[in-house]
């Protein structure tokens, strides 16, 4: 899980990436507190700045875009509505 804290504008060669939003994320814990280093992810669900999202890493990060070939190692695959069970 992470929070979207920024955007990246980059000149890319691969046409499939051109239309894809590139976002800066920071991980959040079950109590929605950020931690660790910021990192970059591709968006596959149309999320916005400040939203809390969940993402997939590794090779599977390309799957949301198939058959398009997007070279991603981190892709946002869901926008969080609410986290239950974090009140403790």
Partner 1 sequence: MIIGQVVGNVTATQKNPRFEGAKLLLVQPLTLDGNPQGDTVLAIDGVDAGVGDRVLVVLEGWSAAHVLRKPGSAVDAAVIGVIDEVELFSRE
- Give me the residues that bind partner 1 (CB under 8 A), please: 3, 5-14, 17, 22, 24, 26, 34, 37-42, 49-50, 58-59, 61-62, 69-74
Give least dist CB 81 to partner 1, A.
20
Token pair listed for 18: 């051109």
How remote is the C-alpha of 71 from its chain's centroid?
Answer: 14
Give least dist CB 33 to partner 1, A.
8
Closer Cβ to partner 1, 42 or 53, answer by number: 42
Give least dist CB 82 to partner 1, A.
19
Q: Which residues contact 77 (CB under 8 A, 6 or more apart)?
A: 44, 45, 54, 55, 56, 64
Residues 6-23 as b or e (16 or more Cβ within 10 Å = b): eeeeeeeeeeebeebbbb
Closer Cβ to partner 1, 7 or 86, answer by number: 7
Closer Cβ to partner 1, 40 or 45, answer by number: 40
């Amino acid at each position: 899980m992470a929070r979207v804290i920024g955007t990246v504008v980059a000149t890319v060669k691969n046409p499939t990436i051109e239309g894809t939003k590139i976002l800066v994320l920071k991980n959040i814990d079950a109590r929605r507190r950020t931690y660790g280093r910021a990192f970059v992810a591709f968006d596959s669900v149309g999320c916005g700045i400040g939203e809390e999202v969940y993402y997939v890493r590794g090779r599977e990060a390309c799957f949301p875009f198939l058959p398009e070939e997007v070279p991603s190692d981190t892709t946002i695959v869901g926008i969080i509505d609410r986290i239950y069970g974090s009140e403790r």
